Amino acid sequence: MDFVKLELDGSVATITIDRPKALNALNPQVLSELAEAIAQVAADPALRALILTGAGEKAFVAGADIAAMAAFSMEDAQAFGALGHRVLDSLEALGVPVIAAVNGFALGGGSELALACDLIYASEKAKFGLPEVTLGVIPGFGGTQRLTRLVGRARARELIFTGELIDAAKAKEVGLALEVLAPEQLLPHCRKVAATIAKRGPLAVAKAKQVINAGVELSLVKGNELEQRAFADLFGSEDQKEGMAAFLAKRPAEFKGR
Protein backbone atom coordinates (compact mmCIF):
# COMPACT_ATOMS: atom_id res chain seq x y z
CA MET A 1 0.00 0.00 0.00
CA ASP A 2 1.31 3.44 -0.93
CA PHE A 3 -0.69 5.71 1.37
CA VAL A 4 -1.90 3.54 4.24
CA LYS A 5 0.41 1.93 6.77
CA LEU A 6 -0.63 -0.94 9.05
CA GLU A 7 1.49 -1.76 12.11
CA LEU A 8 0.90 -4.53 14.63
CA ASP A 9 2.08 -4.38 18.23
CA GLY A 10 0.88 -7.47 20.02
CA SER A 11 -2.90 -7.30 20.18
CA VAL A 12 -3.11 -3.63 19.11
CA ALA A 13 -2.92 -2.41 15.50
CA THR A 14 -2.29 1.10 14.20
CA ILE A 15 -3.45 2.32 10.80
CA THR A 16 -1.82 5.53 9.58
CA ILE A 17 -3.09 7.51 6.60
CA ASP A 18 0.29 8.44 5.10
CA ARG A 19 -0.11 11.10 2.45
CA PRO A 20 1.27 14.16 4.27
CA LYS A 21 2.01 16.24 1.17
CA ALA A 22 -1.75 16.26 0.51
CA LEU A 23 -2.56 16.55 4.25
CA ASN A 24 -3.62 12.89 4.11
CA ALA A 25 -6.60 13.73 1.88
CA LEU A 26 -8.87 10.89 0.84
CA ASN A 27 -9.07 9.85 -2.80
CA PRO A 28 -10.23 6.52 -4.29
CA GLN A 29 -6.79 4.95 -3.91
CA VAL A 30 -6.47 5.97 -0.26
CA LEU A 31 -9.96 4.67 0.48
CA SER A 32 -9.25 1.38 -1.29
CA GLU A 33 -6.00 0.93 0.65
CA LEU A 34 -7.81 1.77 3.88
CA ALA A 35 -10.39 -0.90 3.03
CA GLU A 36 -7.55 -3.40 2.53
CA ALA A 37 -5.99 -2.52 5.89
CA ILE A 38 -9.35 -2.81 7.67
CA ALA A 39 -9.89 -6.23 6.06
CA GLN A 40 -6.50 -7.39 7.33
CA VAL A 41 -7.36 -6.20 10.83
CA ALA A 42 -10.77 -7.88 10.72
CA ALA A 43 -9.14 -11.20 9.78
CA ASP A 44 -6.74 -11.21 12.76
CA PRO A 45 -8.30 -13.19 15.63
CA ALA A 46 -5.62 -11.99 18.06
CA LEU A 47 -6.42 -8.31 17.59
CA ARG A 48 -8.10 -6.49 20.45
CA ALA A 49 -8.02 -2.79 19.49
CA LEU A 50 -7.20 -0.51 16.56
CA ILE A 51 -5.77 3.02 16.53
CA LEU A 52 -6.35 5.20 13.47
CA THR A 53 -4.27 8.34 12.86
CA GLY A 54 -2.67 10.53 10.20
CA ALA A 55 0.98 10.96 9.25
CA GLY A 56 2.83 14.20 9.90
CA GLU A 57 2.14 17.03 12.31
CA LYS A 58 -0.54 18.96 10.42
CA ALA A 59 -3.39 16.63 9.59
CA PHE A 60 -5.34 13.60 10.68
CA VAL A 61 -7.18 13.68 7.35
CA ALA A 62 -7.85 17.10 5.85
CA GLY A 63 -10.84 15.87 3.88
CA ALA A 64 -11.47 14.39 0.47
CA ASP A 65 -9.24 15.33 -2.45
CA ILE A 66 -11.02 18.43 -3.81
CA ALA A 67 -8.78 18.65 -6.86
CA ALA A 68 -9.92 15.19 -7.89
CA MET A 69 -13.56 15.84 -6.99
CA ALA A 70 -13.90 19.13 -8.88
CA ALA A 71 -14.44 17.38 -12.21
CA PHE A 72 -16.81 14.68 -10.90
CA SER A 73 -20.04 13.97 -12.73
CA MET A 74 -23.09 12.94 -10.73
CA GLU A 75 -22.21 9.32 -11.50
CA ASP A 76 -18.63 9.86 -10.30
CA ALA A 77 -19.89 11.44 -7.09
CA GLN A 78 -22.27 8.55 -6.50
CA ALA A 79 -19.48 6.01 -6.91
CA PHE A 80 -17.06 7.97 -4.70
CA GLY A 81 -19.68 8.43 -1.99
CA ALA A 82 -20.57 4.74 -2.12
CA LEU A 83 -16.91 3.79 -1.75
CA GLY A 84 -16.51 6.10 1.23
CA HIS A 85 -19.60 4.70 2.90
CA ARG A 86 -18.45 1.11 2.37
CA VAL A 87 -15.06 1.79 3.90
CA LEU A 88 -16.36 3.75 6.89
CA ASP A 89 -19.14 1.24 7.49
CA SER A 90 -16.55 -1.56 7.56
CA LEU A 91 -14.49 0.43 10.07
CA GLU A 92 -17.53 1.00 12.28
CA ALA A 93 -18.49 -2.68 12.04
CA LEU A 94 -15.10 -4.01 13.19
CA GLY A 95 -15.40 -6.39 16.11
CA VAL A 96 -12.76 -4.48 18.08
CA PRO A 97 -12.89 -0.90 19.39
CA VAL A 98 -11.40 1.69 17.04
CA ILE A 99 -9.65 4.73 18.53
CA ALA A 100 -9.17 7.87 16.46
CA ALA A 101 -5.98 9.76 17.36
CA VAL A 102 -6.78 13.11 15.74
CA ASN A 103 -3.43 14.84 15.49
CA GLY A 104 -4.35 17.81 13.28
CA PHE A 105 -6.93 18.84 10.71
CA ALA A 106 -9.94 16.51 10.58
CA LEU A 107 -12.06 18.21 7.95
CA GLY A 108 -14.89 16.88 5.80
CA GLY A 109 -14.07 13.24 5.14
CA GLY A 110 -11.51 13.41 7.95
CA SER A 111 -14.16 14.27 10.53
CA GLU A 112 -16.39 11.61 8.99
CA LEU A 113 -13.58 9.06 9.34
CA ALA A 114 -13.15 9.96 13.01
CA LEU A 115 -16.92 9.73 13.54
CA ALA A 116 -16.85 6.12 12.29
CA CYS A 117 -14.47 5.29 15.16
CA ASP A 118 -15.60 4.33 18.66
CA LEU A 119 -13.43 6.73 20.66
CA ILE A 120 -12.00 10.08 19.55
CA TYR A 121 -9.01 11.67 21.27
CA ALA A 122 -7.61 14.96 19.98
CA SER A 123 -4.33 16.81 19.98
CA GLU A 124 -4.40 20.42 21.12
CA LYS A 125 -3.59 21.23 17.49
CA ALA A 126 -6.62 19.41 16.10
CA LYS A 127 -9.32 21.18 14.12
CA PHE A 128 -12.66 19.57 13.28
CA GLY A 129 -15.22 20.60 10.72
CA LEU A 130 -17.62 19.61 7.98
CA PRO A 131 -17.11 22.53 5.56
CA GLU A 132 -18.74 20.89 2.53
CA VAL A 133 -21.41 23.60 2.19
CA THR A 134 -18.62 26.08 1.42
CA LEU A 135 -18.00 23.97 -1.70
CA GLY A 136 -21.65 23.71 -2.65
CA VAL A 137 -22.13 20.13 -1.46
CA ILE A 138 -22.88 18.26 1.79
CA PRO A 139 -20.99 15.62 3.76
CA GLY A 140 -21.00 12.44 1.69
CA PHE A 141 -19.42 9.76 3.91
CA GLY A 142 -22.02 9.62 6.70
CA GLY A 143 -21.29 12.93 8.41
CA THR A 144 -24.87 14.17 8.51
CA GLN A 145 -25.94 10.96 10.25
CA ARG A 146 -23.08 10.09 12.60
CA LEU A 147 -22.47 13.64 13.81
CA THR A 148 -26.17 14.09 14.60
CA ARG A 149 -26.21 10.87 16.60
CA LEU A 150 -23.11 11.90 18.54
CA VAL A 151 -23.69 15.58 19.36
CA GLY A 152 -27.43 16.02 18.73
CA ARG A 153 -29.43 17.64 15.96
CA ALA A 154 -29.00 21.28 16.97
CA ARG A 155 -25.21 21.18 17.21
CA ALA A 156 -24.88 19.05 14.08
CA ARG A 157 -27.05 21.52 12.17
CA GLU A 158 -24.90 24.42 13.35
CA LEU A 159 -21.65 22.75 12.32
CA ILE A 160 -22.94 21.47 8.98
CA PHE A 161 -24.99 24.55 7.97
CA THR A 162 -22.18 27.02 8.77
CA GLY A 163 -19.26 24.85 7.66
CA GLU A 164 -17.24 26.47 10.45
CA LEU A 165 -14.23 24.77 11.99
CA ILE A 166 -13.91 24.15 15.72
CA ASP A 167 -10.79 23.61 17.78
CA ALA A 168 -10.10 20.61 19.98
CA ALA A 169 -11.40 22.26 23.16
CA LYS A 170 -14.73 23.05 21.50
CA ALA A 171 -14.87 19.53 20.08
CA LYS A 172 -14.58 18.16 23.61
CA GLU A 173 -17.18 20.63 24.88
CA VAL A 174 -19.79 19.50 22.35
CA GLY A 175 -19.05 15.81 22.87
CA LEU A 176 -17.16 15.14 19.65
CA ALA A 177 -13.78 14.46 21.29
CA LEU A 178 -13.34 12.66 24.60
CA GLU A 179 -10.07 14.25 25.68
CA VAL A 180 -7.64 16.90 24.45
CA LEU A 181 -3.95 16.14 24.86
CA ALA A 182 -0.60 17.70 24.11
CA PRO A 183 0.62 16.53 20.67
CA GLU A 184 3.38 14.39 22.14
CA GLN A 185 0.92 12.72 24.54
CA LEU A 186 -1.78 11.85 21.99
CA LEU A 187 -0.52 8.51 20.67
CA PRO A 188 0.81 7.32 24.05
CA HIS A 189 -2.61 8.04 25.56
CA CYS A 190 -4.39 6.17 22.76
CA ARG A 191 -2.00 3.24 23.15
CA LYS A 192 -2.67 3.18 26.89
CA VAL A 193 -6.43 3.08 26.32
CA ALA A 194 -5.99 0.38 23.66
CA ALA A 195 -3.80 -1.67 26.01
CA THR A 196 -6.44 -1.44 28.73
CA ILE A 197 -9.15 -2.60 26.34
CA ALA A 198 -6.90 -5.44 25.16
CA LYS A 199 -6.86 -6.86 28.70
CA ARG A 200 -10.63 -7.15 28.87
CA GLY A 201 -12.77 -10.02 27.66
CA PRO A 202 -12.67 -9.69 23.85
CA LEU A 203 -16.01 -11.37 23.28
CA ALA A 204 -17.61 -9.08 25.85
CA VAL A 205 -16.06 -5.94 24.37
CA ALA A 206 -17.13 -6.94 20.87
CA LYS A 207 -20.65 -7.71 22.06
CA ALA A 208 -20.85 -4.41 23.95
CA LYS A 209 -19.83 -2.51 20.80
CA GLN A 210 -22.39 -4.40 18.74
CA VAL A 211 -25.21 -3.75 21.20
CA ILE A 212 -24.38 -0.05 21.60
CA ASN A 213 -24.24 0.54 17.85
CA ALA A 214 -27.38 -1.44 17.07
CA GLY A 215 -29.30 -0.01 20.03
CA VAL A 216 -28.96 3.54 18.73
CA GLU A 217 -31.39 2.64 15.96
CA LEU A 218 -33.93 1.00 18.30
CA SER A 219 -36.41 2.05 20.95
CA LEU A 220 -35.28 1.72 24.56
CA VAL A 221 -37.44 -1.37 24.98
CA LYS A 222 -35.98 -3.06 21.89
CA GLY A 223 -32.46 -1.99 22.81
CA ASN A 224 -32.80 -3.49 26.26
CA GLU A 225 -34.08 -6.73 24.74
CA LEU A 226 -30.98 -6.81 22.55
CA GLU A 227 -28.80 -6.26 25.62
CA GLN A 228 -30.52 -9.05 27.54
CA ARG A 229 -29.90 -11.55 24.74
CA ALA A 230 -26.26 -10.52 24.41
CA PHE A 231 -25.75 -10.74 28.18
CA ALA A 232 -27.15 -14.26 28.28
CA ASP A 233 -25.20 -15.36 25.20
CA LEU A 234 -21.89 -14.54 26.85
CA PHE A 235 -22.60 -17.07 29.60
CA GLY A 236 -22.03 -19.75 26.98
CA SER A 237 -18.42 -18.60 26.50
CA GLU A 238 -15.19 -19.84 28.02
CA ASP A 239 -14.21 -16.22 28.63
CA GLN A 240 -17.15 -15.68 30.99
CA LYS A 241 -16.18 -18.70 33.05
CA GLU A 242 -12.52 -17.64 33.10
CA GLY A 243 -13.33 -14.04 33.97
CA MET A 244 -15.53 -14.92 36.93
CA ALA A 245 -13.22 -17.69 38.14
CA ALA A 246 -10.29 -15.27 38.02
CA PHE A 247 -12.26 -12.68 39.97
CA LEU A 248 -13.17 -15.15 42.69
CA ALA A 249 -9.57 -16.43 42.83
CA LYS A 250 -8.26 -12.84 42.95
CA ARG A 251 -5.99 -13.35 39.94
CA PRO A 252 -5.77 -11.71 36.49
CA ALA A 253 -8.03 -13.28 33.91
CA GLU A 254 -6.50 -14.97 30.87
CA PHE A 255 -9.07 -14.47 28.14
CA LYS A 256 -8.90 -16.57 24.97
CA GLY A 257 -11.67 -15.03 22.92
CA ARG A 258 -13.72 -18.21 23.11
Distance CA 203, CA 201 (A): 6
Name the strand (E) or helix (H) holding 59.
Answer: strand 59-61
What is the SS3 assignment for 55? coil
Please tell me the number of Cα atoms within 13 Å of 110 on its side-chain side. 32
Number of helical (H) and strand (E) elements in the chain, helices listed first: 11, 10
What is the SS3 assignment for 51? strand
Complete DSSP assignment for 28-40: HHHHHHHHHHHHH
Q: Looking at the annotation, which residues are catalytic?
A: 112, 132
How far is C-alpha 223 from the chain's CA centre? 22
Distance CA 237, CA 127 (A): 43
By 3-state DSSP, what share of the chain in percent is helix, strand and coil, each rounded to 5?
55, 15, 30
Give the sheet arrangement for strand 105-107, strand by strand: 59-61, 105-107, 127-129, 166-167
